[in-house]
Structure 1
Amino acid sequence: MKLAHIACATALLLAGSAAAQDGGKTITNTAITKTTISLGTATPGGGFPLYGNSFAEVMNAADPMLSIEPRNTKGSNENIPLLEAGNLDIALVAGEPSYEAFMGIGRPATKLKILTAMYSSPGMFVVRADSPYKTIRDLVGQPVAFGAKGSGLPILSRYMLDGIGLKQDEDFKSIYLDRAGDGPAMVQDGRAAALWGAGIGWPGFKAMAESPGGARFIAPDAGEIARIRAKHTYLKPLTVPAGSYPNQSAPISSVGSWSYILVRESLPDEVAYRLAKTLHGIEGEFCKKLSQACETTAANTVAAAPNVDLIHPGVLKYFREIGVVK
C-alpha cells in the first residue's frame, strides 16, 4: 500500500513537472502550487473594480497556477494602509495618493512598490446635456459629486481646483459617495449638478453619456491647464480622444496622472517577476478585453513611474530582460 502511495505521488510530481514546461523552459517548483494573490480594488460601480476584475480574469486564464482574487475596498486611501499592513498582496491606487505616499506628503514615505502603471486619468466633470453649466467656474456654489469617500478621485480634483484658485470643500457643495456607482443617478435626478471623474471608459461617464438625455463634459481650458501645471508640476497634460464616449465628437484636453497597481513591500521578487511576465505577455489580450487596459504596457510603466527605483525589483528584472530598462 505504501509503495502504491509513493508511486502515485511520484506520478503526480512528474505530471506537474511536465505541465510546468513553457517554451522549453521549466518553471520553478513554486509554479506547481497555485499562487493566490489578493487584489484590492474599490467600491462597486467605479473604474477600479471594472479594471481589477478584468485583470484577474486575463491573468488567471494566462497562468492556471495563479489565482488572483479581487476584493472590493473603499479605494485608494484604504488600499495603501492595507498593503502596508500586509493585508493585501497587490492593489489599485490612483496617481495622487500614490504620489503623496511615495513622496511622504502628509505621512511617512511608503515602501510600497509599483507592479505596473494601469492607465492615465485625465480628470473632468460631466453634466446633463441640458445643463446650463459650461465651465468649471459655473459650478461654483453647486452640489458636485466628487467620487467615493476613499477614492483617489477627490484628491485629483482637489489638486486641480487648487491650481485654478478654488477650494473643493468651500467653493462647492461637495458630495462624497458611499458607492462610486451612485454618482450618475444623482446628476440625472438633480441632486448633483455635476459628477467628477477621470479616465477613458470610466463607468460613471459611460452611464451619463448613454443616458436618454445625454451628457456634456467640462474640463479646464488651456489657460487653466497652464496654471494647474505651474503649481502642481507632477500633473500631466492628458487627452480623452474623440469618440471615447457616446456623442463625444471632439477630443477633450485636461490634466491628470497615472494609476498604478502597487504591491506590498514583502512580495517576493519571484512572484513580482512572474506577475510582470504574465501580464506583459498578454498585453494584446488585455487590451481587447478592456479599452483602458490598452495603456497597461511595460513601456508606459517605466515612463509613468516617478522614479524607476519605485518599480518592484522583480518587475525590473523582467523589464531588463525585455530591454525596457537598461
Structure 2
Amino acid sequence: MEMMRKSLGAFLAVLMVTVMSNVPQAGAEPMRVTLGTSTQGGGFSLYGTALAEAINAVEPAPMVEPRLTRGTGENLPLLDKGALDIALVQGTSAYEALAGIGQPKSDLKILTAMYSSPGVFAVRGDVQATTIEDLKGKTVVFGTEASGLVVMANYVLDGLGLDMRRDFDAVFVKRAADSPPKVIGGEAVALWGAGVGWPGFVRVSEGPAGARFIGLTPEQIAQIRAKHSFLKPMRLPAGSYAGQSEAVETVGSWNFVLTRADLPEDIAYRLIAAIDKAGPALTEKLDQAAETTPANTAEGAPDRAMLHPGVVRYLTEKGLL
C-alpha cells in the first residue's frame, strides 16, 4: 500500500511538471510568426495586414506580425534564409521557385492559396486604346521591379511575342502606391496589375477620367498558354471596379502564402486552421479574400508535395485531399 502511494505521488509530480511546462509563464515572450507582405499601398500589404488581424483574432498563439517588404522578389530570398516565417508570393514567381524553373528548386512550402490574379491593363478612360497592340510604344506603368506582377507581365507579353522594355516605354516605381498617380496625372496611359479589389486599379478607376480594362482575346490566351501553360485562363468579373460594366477575359495565376522550409508542422496546422476559421471576417475586410479557402488551396497547389505537411494534415482531415 505504501509503495502504491509513493508511485502515485511520483506520477502526480511528473504530471504537474509536464502541465506547468506547457502553460505560458507570466512575462514570457509570446510566440511570433513574421509575415512578409509588400511595399506600402500594394495589394499584398493590404491583404497581409487583414490576414494577420484575422488570424490573431481567432488564434492568439502564434501571433502573426506583418512586415513590409519590397514584395515577392524580396520575400522569396528572405524565406529561403529563414528571415521570414511566412510570406505572400505572387503565383507565377511561386511556381517558378517551387518547380525550379530557371533556378534551383526551392524547399519552401504552400500554407494557403490567397486569391486568383487575372492580369489586365487599366487604361485611363480618355485614352483611345482597346488592345495591347494599341499600347505598344506608349508609357505603361508595370509596378515595382521586385513585384511578382512584373514577372507575370513578362510571361504574358513573351507569350505574345512582345518584350516589356523593348515594345513599351516601361515605367517602374519604388512603391506600389506611386503607380496610380502616374496614370491619373497623365504621365502614363496604362497600369498593369491583377485581381479584384487591387488598390492600384481602384484608384485609377475612381480618378477623374475613370478607367477601361484591356485583357486578351481567345486567340491570344491560346497563344500564351501554348508557350506558358502554367498560366490559367481567368476572368476579371464585371463590376470589379468602378465603371467596369463587362467581364474581361485574360490569363493569370493563384497567389500563395508560402512558408520557410523548416516551419514546424504544428505551427502550419494551427495557421491554416485559423485562416479557415477566420474566413468570414477576412472576407468582410477584402472581397478577394473570399477565395482564401482550404478547398482552393487543395485545388490551386500545382503539386501536393508543394503543400506544407501541416497543411496536408488539415486538408486531409477536412476530406479535401
Same structural fold, with TM-score higher than 0.5 when normalized by the shorter chain: yes
**Equivalent AA in structure 1 for residue 22 of structure 2:** N
What's the offset of the Cα at 1:146? 0.6
Give the structure 1 partner of residue 94 of structure 2.
98
1:218 aligns with 2:214: yes
Alignment of 1:176-325 (within 5 A): 176-325=172-321
Q: 1:29 aligns with which of 18, 22, 42?
A: 22
SS at match of 2:271: helix
| Cα distance in 2 for residues equivalent to 1:31 and 1:142 | 59
What's the offset of the Cα at 1:64? 2.3
98-107 or 149-158: which moved more?
98-107
What's the offset of the Cα at 1:31? 7.8
1:137 aligns with 2:117: no
Give yes or no for contact 2:140–2:188 (8 Å, CA) kept in 1.
Answer: yes
What's the offset of the Cα at 1:282? 2.1
**Equivalent AA in structure 1 for residue 120 of structure 2:** M
What's the offset of the Cα at 1:29? 3.4
Which structure 1 residue ranges, 4+ long, deviate > 6 Å from structure 2? Answer: 30-33
Could you give the per-residue CA deviations for residues 53-97 of structure 1, whole angstroms, max 9, x where no partner exists?
000011111122331111110110110000000000000000111
Unaligned runs of 5+ in 2: 1-15
**Equivalent AA in structure 2 for residue 142 of structure 1:** K
What's the offset of the Cα at 1:242? 1.0
SS at match of 1:243: coil
| Residues 31 and 165 (structure 1), Cα distance of their counterparts in 2 relative to 1, 3 Å cut | farther
Could you give the per-residue CA deviations for residues 205-239 of structure 1, whole angstroms, max 9, x where no partner exists?
00011112211111112211111111111100111
**Number of equivalenced pairs:** 301
SS at match of 1:247: coil
Give yes or no for contact 1:145–1:192 (8 Å, CA) kept in 2.
Answer: yes
Alignment of 1:100-119 (within 5 A): 100-119=96-115
**Equivalent AA in structure 2 for residue 160 of structure 1:** V
| Cα distance in 2 for residues equivalent to 1:322 and 1:30 | 29
| Residues 214 and 103 (structure 1), Cα distance of their counterparts in 2 relative to 1, 3 Å cut | same
Give yes or no for contact 1:83–1:89 (8 Å, CA) kept in 2.
Answer: yes
Give the structure 2 partner of residue 24 of structure 1.
none
Give yes or no for contact 2:62–2:267 (8 Å, CA) kept in 1.
Answer: no
**Equivalent AA in structure 2 for residue 29 of structure 1:** N
Give yes or no for contact 1:31–1:65 (8 Å, CA) kept in 2.
Answer: no
1:168 aligns with 2:164: yes
Give the structure 1 partner of residue 51 of structure 2.
55
Give yes or no for contact 2:37–2:71 (8 Å, CA) kept in 1.
Answer: yes
SS at match of 1:226: helix
Could you give the per-residue CA deviations for residues 233-273 of structure 1, whole angstroms, max 9, x where no partner exists?
11001111111111111111110000000000010000000
Q: 1:67 aligns with which of 56, 63, 67?
A: 63
| Cα distance in 2 for residues equivalent to 1:84 and 1:244 | 35
Q: TM-score, normalised by structure 1?
A: 0.89
Give yes or no for contact 1:59–1:66 (8 Å, CA) kept in 2.
Answer: no
Q: 2:118 aligns with which of 119, 122, 130?
A: 122
Supply the RMSD in Å over aligned alpha carbons: 1.7
Give the structure 2 partner of residue 149 of structure 1.
145
| Cα distance in 1 for residues equivalent to 2:111 and 2:227 | 29
Give yes or no for contact 2:36–2:88 (8 Å, CA) kept in 1.
Answer: yes
What's the offset of the Cα at 1:35? 2.1
What's the offset of the Cα at 1:30? 7.7
Q: Percent identity?
A: 50
Q: TM-score, normalised by structure 2?
A: 0.90
| Cα distance in 2 for residues equivalent to 1:188 and 1:245 | 15
Give the structure 1 partner of residue 5 of structure 2.
none
| Cα distance in 2 for residues equivalent to 1:157 and 1:144 | 12
